[in-house]
Structure 1
Amino acid sequence: MIETLFREGKAFSIFPYRVIYMHASLHTDKYPVQAGFSVSSRKFPHAVDRNRIKRLGREAYRLQKQPFHTALRDSGLQLAVFFIYTDKKIADFDTLSRKFSVILEKLVKEAGKKE
């Protein structure tokens, strides 16, 4: 699934994230999205820093995913999404939270477009 996502998925960037997504046929109707998070080990050589960034991103996503899931369920869509952190510094949680609200709004708009 992940190889297909990177090969055939669509992408956009909203700093500090690059978002890759594609329509997917998931095995469950309970969750309309499969999400993954990644941080470059080249930019952050220490695992503790990479893990912190991923943890902050997952928490920002978790707190804002409910309206996103509702919008996707209402339109009958299922997505596979991958968030790649591109900044060279660790952003604070408030910044990531604001960015995730913009990212999720854009994902709903982009996913709703006809292919």
Structure 2
Amino acid sequence: MEDNANFTYSRAEKLKSKKLFEKLFAEGKSLMHYPLRMVYVQTEATQDVAIKAGVTVSKRKFKSAVQRNRIKRVLREAYRLNKAIVFNNSQANYALLIMYLGKEMPESAQVHKAMVQLLGKFKDKIAEH
């Protein structure tokens, strides 16, 4: 059986810094794989983890907080299970924000598939640098 520690999404890995959010929207680059969009920016090496990630869902498209929270839970789960794609291939530090762009409640499998594609694109993008 595999060690479950590889599939954690600890508090240190969560994107919470207001400065990082502002930097993401000011200088961030974007990747897309419908229904997900990722905005990322390289950060200083002062952090305890290589990649900080956050998820968000549009309040305009999903008025109900219950629906938004469910989608965010699915996004975090998909990221948690597939983050090894990026973690094992990144030497630099990054901040990521993953946004759900769809207009309807997603299937878990659809989000997982899109997350794998998106993280794969990101891995290829950072490999170029």
Q: Could you tell me the TM-score, scaled by structure 1's length?
A: 0.89
Alignment match, 1:24: 43
1:113 deviation in Å?
2.2
Residue 32 of structure 2 corresponds to 13
May I ask how many residue pairs the two structures share in their alignment? 110
Correspondence 1:89 to 2:108: no
Whether the 8 Å CA contact 2:36–2:100 is kept in 1: the answer is yes
Identity value in percent = 34
Normalization by structure 2: what TM-score? Answer: 0.80
Which sections of structure 1, spanning at least 5 residues, go unmatched?
none
CA contact (8 A) 2:31 2:121 kept: no
The ranges of structure 1 where at least 4 consecutive aligned residues each deviate by more than 2 angstroms after the TM superposition are 26-29
SS at match of 1:87: coil
Give distance in 1, aligned partners of 2:99 and 2:79.
13
Higher deviation after alignment, 61-70 or 49-58: 61-70
5+ long unaligned stretches in structure 2: 1-19
- Matched position secondary structure for 2:106: coil
